[in-house]
Every structure is written in C-alpha cells, then in structure tokens.
Chains A and B, each alone.
Chain A
C-alpha cells in the first residue's frame, strides 16, 4: 500500500504523523501553512476554506471550496488541495509573489481589514471564479436566456458571480461591501492559468485508505460491498461522507472514534438517475452537485439548497449525512417528507426501501440498523405542481432553522387534490403535518380553507422554547407559513 499522502499547492506531502482525527486545518498549520485559520472549528465562519480538486459537473475537475476544519486529512489521501498561499505565484528569489486575480481584487478594494478571515474568503471566491459555467451564465443572462437565479439581483454579479458562494464565510470587520465589489469585479481566468487548465484533467481518483495510529483507524474502502462488510465487523464505526457533522463532534465535543469509514467516493452512492416514476439520488452526492445537476428541475429542492447551510457546507454535505444523523432540525427532511421520498437502506445482506415518513423513530433515532447504510434517496415522480419551502431562522444565509416547513400541493381546478407537508424543528423528529394535510385535501384552495387549515397546522407538533425561538413563535410560524403560501399562490394567479 502506498503511504497516505496529499498534494498541497502542487507539492506531495505525507500525511503522517497526523492522527486519524487530525483535520486538514491542523495538518496544514502544523506544516507551516498558517494562512488557513481557525475561527470557529465548526464550519460556520469559513476562515479555514481551502480548494479541493473534485470530479466536476461541467468539466472533468472542479475546484471546490471546503471547510478544512471539518475534514480529516486522511480523507484526502491521494487528493490535491490549494490554499491561499498556493493561489499566489511565488516571486523569484524572495521577491513578493504575484497575486492571484481574486487576491488582487480583494487587496485593492479594501476587502481585508484585520485579514484573519481573508484567506478563507479568497479560497471561496477562487472556487466561484473557477466555476466553469459562471461566466457562461452571466453571458446568457445578458441575452435573456439565463435561469432566474442569475437575473442581475443583489446576489449575483454582472460577471455571473453567485454571492451565495461566500455565504459560509464570516467577516467581522468590513461589513462585506468591498468583498462583494471584489467578487463582482473578477474576470475570467486567463488561458494559461494553471488552476483553470487543471480543470480539463480528471480529478484524482479516490485512494483506498487505511490510516491507523494507536487504536484508531481511518478507512476508505473501494467498494460498497467492502464497506458493508466493514460496517458489519465494526459496529463501532462512524460513517462519514463530507464529515460536516462528524467534524463538529470531533472539534467541539471532543469525540473520538476507533474507526471512521469514509463513503463519500463510493460509486454506488454517487449516482443521480431519473427513472420514469422516480428520481434516485445517491446518498453521497454532495448537495452542490445535486443542485447543479438537477438545475432547477425539482423546484422544491431548488428552493431548499440556497437556504441549506452555506455553499462551503453544501460542497461537502450529502442527503445521506443529513438523514443519517436523524436530527430533528435538518433542513432536508421536511422537504423530502413533502416529496414523499423513500430511502434505500443497504447492508451486507441486501437492500430494503423505507418511506422517509417511517424512518424517524425518536430524537436522533431511526429504523436504520447497525451495519446499515443509506445508499440512496428516491423521490417519486411526477412532482406536485405547487411547492414551497419556508425556513424560519434569525439569519437568512447559513443558519439553523427554528422551524422549517415544506409544502407539496396538488391543486386542480381550485381544489386541493393532495397535500403533503413536512415539518422540522417542532418535534423530536421531522414530521408530516398529517392533520393539516387532511384539513386541506378535497377542499377549495381558498382563504377560508387556508384559515381553518392554518389553525390546525399551528397546533401540530410540540415545539420548545430555546435560544433560537420561543415555542409560541414556532407554533405561530406554522400557521403563518400556510397563509404566506396562499398569499404567494394567489399573487401568482392574479398577476
């Protein structure tokens, strides 16, 4: 077996003597690459953002920005990363480096004050700079063919730059205006830009990894079968895909595992297929990939993604992870419940399909058995015509929901034929609002129906008061969300 190694800024570096729990952030800093900073150690501030070469959506390779604080360095065995130091072109014989175009824009426009968050912003910005369809979408926009998202709003630059790509980066000094100006000023990569050229070559293949130290091991099996065998033999194993949840456990709650198993590159978990009667999304496809590959064809998911954590997190997070933790406040369960999704669960003996509505059994408890893995999410087709996702939170970008409500309604001739409503944040598990669904189905889609159903919806679940919101606000928001949906649909009809 080849010793675990990682290519950092073009230089191959052994991962040893890092431990299986050492994060990419600590690994880089231990090697003197201190540009990558720790601001929060839980994937919220982005000061640790670095670029990883991953299989691309529109080109063989994408430069994807991720939170280095969350990813174990062993997970990047055989991979390539670039840090803020590596974006600049070194000067000869100690002369100052030539700044990368995003660095140049950040510097001259006052995008840095204290400078601590800056390397992370630079990496997130560089990821968007190298997004192959960035300029194309801006161009399309100019000709009136673009998707609605790129339609010249405050969140998209004339250069196609999507401000959401910086939603996972916090700056406490600038107030963001100069950073936005820098982002909206970057042009297209030059033809001889080595990172731009790198996109045309395949991304590094996943390396089968066994990285052990003392009584702890990080494993990356090559196949699903091998993975399921490992999970059977190691019931204590922690399964990670993007490690956006496990990384927080390691850093904030000091959890350690004897065995961590990475599944994010298993081909069997990375498929996205549209069948005649359903859509199947592999459990390890990142949310960013789903977002780009579906390209708005599932409107409820398209509405979910910009509100799901940040771009930095979505670049690593997966449906498998968000459902695997069983959290009552994940943002995907309400949406997937409304879409009537099912989960394909696999273990060494085979597969079974479980409706998501039957999956959650209690606070962070599910029907998933030891040794069982979520392989895929299935969404039945056709989709309900009227959908909406309402996330109630303190902050619009990158916050955890106080309440999340997803609607999928089939309204025909002014009558609600079918209603599916998923709720998060109001019970120990994500739930379907069954009583509200019943209060809507078969009724005319009218103010009276909505008022009555909103009263039912407001009483659903058993919300708590905590630091995010009071119980009465959470309940109020349930009812309000249905009224808001009604207002939005009637506006759409009247206009």
Chain B
C-alpha cells in the first residue's frame, strides 16, 4: 500500500457524515455570494445591456439616455477598460465586444443605485447594429466550414485492416443536444475596493485563481492587488469554471471606477441566455465488427458546438475523444475532432467535460447495432470490454490497468439487481401488454481522472494550528455542494489524528493559497486532499517530535489517535491540546503550507498520445423503464448502481454524488431540451427555452421509483489520497442505461432485430416517434416514415 493511500488507526475518513454546512443549509443561514449584499453598505447594482440579435457589428452605442434615468450612476463600456478588454484565456472573448456574436450578448453594463434603476438604464441604452448572417446550429457551421481551435486526430492501429477483417460494417450519423447547468444559484459577484484601491471580489466561481487572473488583466493591475473569495456556490457543475471571470471583472471594474461596492447577479433568463452550456455534438461514424460482434475498427468524426468563443472547447473535445472507447477495446481507431464556431453562447465545462459526449457516441452505436448483429445489447457490450492481463491500451495509448473492475461492477450490479429474474418478468409483462412495454438495460463506464493538461494537476493548502489546539484549514478547492470541504476536514482530522470538531475550514481565498486549479475534472478531493494531507503531515511530524520528548519515546513510535498522543507499548498519554501548547512554548512552527502534484502523468496534445489520467473510475448501472405506447411517456421504475469510488472518504457524500450525477445525466439524455430559434425570422438565434418554465430539469417525477446505490468494496486506489477515487463526474454517465432502456422498450413494440434510432434528448415525443418507427416497420410500411427517421444503413 502506498504512503498516499494508507489509512492510520481510527481514521475520520471513511466515516459517513452529512455535509459540513448541512445545519446552515436547512436553516437558510448558509451565505452565498449575493446574500452578502445585505451586509454591505452603499452597493451599486450592475445590469447588462443585452443585444437581441444573433450576429452584427455595432455601429453606434449611445449611453446618454441611460444616464438620464434616475438612479443610474454610470454605464460601463470598452472605453472604461484600463487593461485588456478580454474575459477569457484564449483572447477571443472581448469583455465589451464591438461585434455582437450571439443573441443576448452583453455589450455594456449599467450601474444603478437600485437594481430597478440599473434595469431601466440598461433598457435605455441605444445600440445600432449592422446585422450579419448567423450560424445557429452545428450542422450549419459544418456546412459553412466554420470551425475554430484545434483539430485533434486520435489514431491507433490500422483501421483499413480492421474494416477488412470485419464481418459487419455499419455507418451512421448522430447529433445530440447540449445541457444547461441550471445551478440553482445564478452567476453572482460582489466587488469592493480597499484603502489602496485594491480589489476584494466575492464570486460564485469554481476557479478563484483564474477569476483573479482575468480581473487583474482587465484592470491592468498585478494579481497581488486582486483577492477573490468564494464562500460556497449554489451549484457549479462546470458552469462556474470559466464563465464567472468576465462577470466578476465587470463588478471589479465598476468598483474600481466608482469607489463603491458593486454587485451583479444574473437573473435566470440572463444566466440562460448569456452563459455557456454543455457542448452539443454532431458525429459521423463507421464501425466494423467481427462475426462474434467484437469491434474491429472505428472511424468517427466528432464536431463539438463550441459557440462563439473557444472558452474550454479544446480540452472538452480532447476529453470526448479520450472517452469514445468507454469500457471497450477498440484495436483500430481513427477519431477526428473539430469545434464548430456558431453564433450561440460559448459552450463550456459541464460535469464530465466532453467525456459524456464521447461515450454517448459509442453507447449509441452499440445500442443501434446490437439488433443488427442479432445480439442482446448486454451481450454485445460485455463481449467488447477491455480484458485484464492482455496489455490493452486506450486508443490514445494509456494502459488500462484495472480492466478487471469493468467486469466486476458489471457482474455485481447484475447480482444486486436480480437481472435474470427481472428479465423474465419483463418478458412476461411485455407479452401480456400491447400498449405498455418495459425494458432493462445495463451500461458501464470507465472515466479518466486528472486534467488532460498535466500542469493543472497540482493543489495547495495552508493549515494553521492555534495555541488552544484548534485547527484551521485552507485549500484551493471550492465548495459547490459536492462535499469537498467535508472531505477535506476529514482528511485533516485523519492525518493529524484528532476529532473532527477540532477542525474548521476557512472559505477559499486566493490570498491563502495561490495559483490554484479549477475545482473541476472531479479532482478536488485528490488534489486538495493530497495538499492538506501533506501540510498536516509536516505538522504531525513536528508534533511527534515534541510528544516523543514528553513521553520519553522515539518519535517514530508515537501515534496520535483521536486527539491523544501515546507511545507504542506505553501507558503514557499526552492530550492534543497540551501537546500543541507545549509545542508553541518550544517555538515549534504550527502552520504549514501543503502541496500535491499528481505523479506519473504525461500527455502530448499534438500526437494525441500519452497517459493523461492517474487512474480510471468505474461503475455500472441497471435501469428499468416503462414506456406508454400511446404517448411515448415513460417512467424509471428501478435503478441499481455499483460504483467504484476507491475506498470512500465520506460514504454519504459519495452516494449523494452518484445519485445526483445519475439523475443529472438522465436529465441531459431524456428531458432537458435546449431549443434555439433556427428560423430566418427576427429572433433567429434566440434561446427559446430560457426559463425554468420552458427548460425542464428533472423533478421528483423523474426520480427512479426504486434507487439502489452501492459503492464497490475493497477498492483501494493506490494513487490517491487515503485510497479514494474521484466521484464528481463519472456517475453522470451511468445514465446511459436510461437511454438504452428506453431504446429497448421502444424496440419491444415491434419484432426482434429492429434497430431503433432514438433522438437525444429522448423526450416523450422522441420516444413516441421511436415507437412509431418500430410499429411502422412491423407493419412493413417503412416507406411512410419521415426521411431520415432511420439514419442507420448497412454498407
């Protein structure tokens, strides 16, 4: 067992406990960024001037009418920017644009004494536009060859030989939607200036260091003049990894120029129309199978809808390519990636970060091809799993070292869910019902953990022990509900050997831990946990020396367990508080900076090869659905999940991540329906689902009626803190089982062997058309289907 993964006696990690802020959450006393406004005097409110056209050059911007509105204090425009007019890391995202690039693009911001005054001021700003043609969909961008950023190509083996060896070759095309994050707390920031004009910004951000970086370059000041703090977020899901920066810069700029605190908080429609989403993708593919259904070759092109600026589209696309294999051994592959440049919001990180999109393509292919191969979809998937002990690598060259886990979780979920019996029950039910069909599908996941970009795989912490024995920890990660802070307190208490109540956690601030990475890529606990453990180990070593002297023992024979130091083989004890007190008087430093870097990673983005991931997280889900053949409406009857989180740091929190990720993934795949105005009318490019009333998230009605989540046991991960594995993103992709179950239920309305094309999201309407295609097929009236209803064709 590695030093990193080994747990001491009576660890606090591994203990099931509620979120550290649960008591504050339920009483409404937990503070979020915008709650601070009431505690701050003389706050100005910032409101965006959005232009409601998809594309056009600004020919005039008149702010005078706004200044005439009572209560309007100032209008921020490009002329006010002392530094760089840029809100992104790619220098393609002007904070104040001279060209409107998407419907709802903010071109100026109004500061008002009240929100109402700022709103009325924004409405009074006059913008004239030279309208330009707009590309709204990824298909339009492909046709116009409108792309930006890198064009990665992932190649392994020899696809020509692979196709030549294939008994069956199929081709297809598949487009699928993006997803709105819909964190319940919209984007918000509050900026204040101190006595030297230095900035203090409270921001709902997953990436305080980058918010700091953007604010300092917009203001043209060094980073040490800008401090960013994040108390907690009301959800992030990737939507606050890069998108908060420009907004925070507006608040900071306003505060700098007026000397007053400036607050902004997007309302829901602004948030939906101004901020980026999960990338929708278009894909074309050709796949070859041998006679037994084993994949021989895959040739695919994935086009991500990047929106108007690059943002994080390149790494998202890279992760999509790196996950098209999912749990399957693909000996010969050629996968190309491109990023469509469209006149829509700039799409960004979202839980899974391209991984779900890559995996959806292969799961869709297998779901469509299984009937054509005459195989049960479960059987087809199982036959293609990576096999242990064969030295198999991913298409980008990383060895799959825990291939056995793919089969382990797959087998366990079948046992737990009683699959064999239930398949019989479902067959009987379907035989007895003509208008209602049930189906059960199992899908698995293999998800790479670490940022693809190696440099991001580092974390920092600052741990302070006060004279009274109380401990304050700081780290670079942000809390967005995922329970990171709870886990970090458990890690600190475990390493120091003290009870949890001795440890308090301070809000994330850039002046405590510098140059942090985004809390993203599921890496929060790995990186920050490693750093906290490192800081606490330094402190523990110093304290063990002190204790050894006091106990008359060798330091290496002293243990601190549950707040008491004792020497092995001796009854003598020293309480933690006394130990700390003694250490102080012996002038032992009681603070330490911790640091962690993930070892053993390498990645060459140009050749698209390397081992970018420290390890893979695994899981499998079995989902049963029931479809109403009259309407296409459906219910999730039961879900069983076995998921690999290594040895859990905090089981209740991990189970919460698995359940929440699954339901969020099911939302993406079945319910959440981003619709843009693609007509040539005046509202071309407008997001039509721009409110909670039109963009529907899963509610209680989408929760599986029976929902069983099991964490894989004895799953120690040698390469991560206390043997745990990352959990934030992987479970989202377990929801493929919902989509595949819906496909199979639709198929059950017709004869065996029919390939079912299912739109994504699989709304009730989409399921209805899938059912209809099967029924029509059954009645040999396929000619009546709309063109394109069956995209799949055998070559």
Residues on B with C-beta less than 8 A from A171 are: 184
Contact B29 A35 (CB under 8 A): yes
Complex Cα spacing A163 to B702, Å: 12
Contact B481 A40 (CB under 8 A): no
Residues on A with C-beta less than 8 A from B185 are: 37, 39, 114, 116
Residues on B with C-beta less than 8 A from A88 are: 26-27
Chain B residue with minimal CB distance to A470? B765
Contact B705 A154 (CB under 8 A): yes
> Chain B, interface size: which category?
35 or more
Within 8 A of B (CB), among A32-57: 32-42, 44-45, 47
| B21, B28, B32, B237: most-surrounded residue (chain A CB, <10 A) | B28
Residues on A with C-beta less than 8 A from B236 are: 114
Contact A174 B26 (CB under 8 A): no
| A106, A116, A393: most-surrounded residue (chain B CB, <10 A) | A116
Contact B633 A396 (CB under 8 A): yes
Chain B residue with minimal CB distance to A83? B28
Residues on A with C-beta less than 8 A from B656 are: 110, 113, 173-175, 178
Complex Cα spacing A233 to B432, Å: 65
Contact B700 A110 (CB under 8 A): no
Complex Cα spacing A477 to B630, Å: 8
- With known contacts A110-B652, A172-B237, A174-B660, A42–B693 Cβ distance under 8 A: yes
Chain A residue with minimal CB distance to B658? A175
Chain B residue with minimal CB distance to A484? B630
Question: In the assembled complex, how far is the CB of residue B655 from the closest CB belonging to chain A, in whole angstroms?
Answer: 7
Which of the residues A84, A175, A180 comes within 8 Å of B26, measured between beta carbons?
A: A84
Residues on A with C-beta less than 8 A from B39 are: 32
Interface string of A78-92 (1 = CB under 8 A from B): 000001110110000
Residue B549 interfacial (CB < 8 Å): no
Interface string of B669-700 (1 = CB under 8 A from A): 00101010000000000001101111011111
- With known contacts A85-B27, A107-B25, A395-B671, A400–B693 Cβ distance under 8 A: yes
Complex Cα spacing A283 to B661, Å: 43
Complex Cα spacing A248 to B35, Å: 23
- With known contacts A37-B234, A395-B699, A397-B701, A114–B481 Cβ distance under 8 A: yes
Residues on A with C-beta less than 8 A from B267 are: 38, 41, 251
Residue A252 interfacial (CB < 8 Å): yes
- With known contacts A29-B38, A84-B28, A467–B699 Cβ distance under 8 A: no
Residues on B with C-beta less than 8 A from A173 are: 235, 481, 656, 660
Residues on B with C-beta less than 8 A from A47 are: 184
Complex Cα spacing A176 to B675, Å: 26
Residues on A with C-beta less than 8 A from B631 are: 390, 392, 477, 480-481, 484
Complex Cα spacing A394 to B19, Å: 33
Question: In the assembled complex, how far is the CB of residue A25 from the closest CB belonging to chain B, in whole angstroms?
Answer: 12
Residue A118 interfacial (CB < 8 Å): yes
Chain A residue with minimal CB distance to B25? A115
Residues on B with C-beta less than 8 A from A439 are: none
Contact B184 A473 (CB under 8 A): no
Chain B residue with minimal CB distance to A256? B116
Complex Cα spacing A41 to B631, Å: 31
Stretch at the interface among A96-104, A137-145, A351-359: A96-104
Which of the residues A110, A119, A154 comes within 8 Å of B19, measured between beta carbons?
A: A110
Residue A167 interfacial (CB < 8 Å): yes
Residues on A with C-beta less than 8 A from B628 are: 484
Contact B691 A107 (CB under 8 A): no
Question: In the assembled complex, how far is the CB of residue A117 from the closest CB belonging to chain B, in whole angstroms?
Answer: 5
Complex Cα spacing A393 to B768, Å: 12
Which of the residues B181, B184, B652, B707 comes within 8 Å of A37, measured between beta carbons?
A: B184
Contact A473 B27 (CB under 8 A): no
Residue A280 interfacial (CB < 8 Å): no
Complex Cα spacing A400 to B631, Å: 16
Contact B699 A466 (CB under 8 A): no
Question: In the assembled complex, how far is the CB of residue A95 from the closest CB belonging to chain B, in whole angstroms?
Answer: 12
Contact B268 A84 (CB under 8 A): no
Within 8 A of B (CB), among A350-409: 390, 392-400, 402
Residues on A with C-beta less than 8 A from B703 are: 175-177, 180
Residue B487 interfacial (CB < 8 Å): no
- With known contacts A174-B660, A487-B435, A114–B28 Cβ distance under 8 A: no
Complex Cα spacing A254 to B47, Å: 14
Complex Cα spacing A44 to B184, Å: 11
Residues on A with C-beta less than 8 A from B675 are: 467
Residue B375 interfacial (CB < 8 Å): no
Contact B688 A107 (CB under 8 A): no
Residue A30 interfacial (CB < 8 Å): yes
Residues on B with C-beta less than 8 A from A176 are: 663, 698-700, 703
Within 8 A of B (CB), among A155-202: 163, 166-167, 169-178, 180
- Other than the given A42-B693, A172-B184, A476-B768, 5 more pairs (CB < 8 A) read A85-B28, A111-B26, A117-B234, A122-B28, A484-B628
Q: List 9 A-B contacts (CB under 8 A).
A: A45-B692, A113-B481, A154-B706, A166-B700, A167-B701, A248-B693, A252-B691, A484-B435, A484-B630
Q: Which A residues contact B (CB, under 8 angstroms)?
A: 29-42, 44-45, 47, 83-85, 87-88, 96-97, 99, 103-104, 106-119, 122, 154, 163, 166-167, 169-178, 180, 248, 251-252, 254, 390, 392-400, 402, 466-470, 473, 476-477, 480-481, 483-484, 487
Q: Which B residues contact A (CB, under 8 angstroms)?
A: 18-19, 21-32, 34-35, 38-39, 119, 181-185, 232-237, 267-269, 435, 480-483, 628, 630-631, 633, 635, 652-653, 655-656, 659-664, 671, 673, 675, 688-689, 691-694, 696-707, 763-765, 768-769
Report, nearest first, the 3 A-B pairs whose CB atoms are least far apart: A35-B28, A114-B481, A116-B234
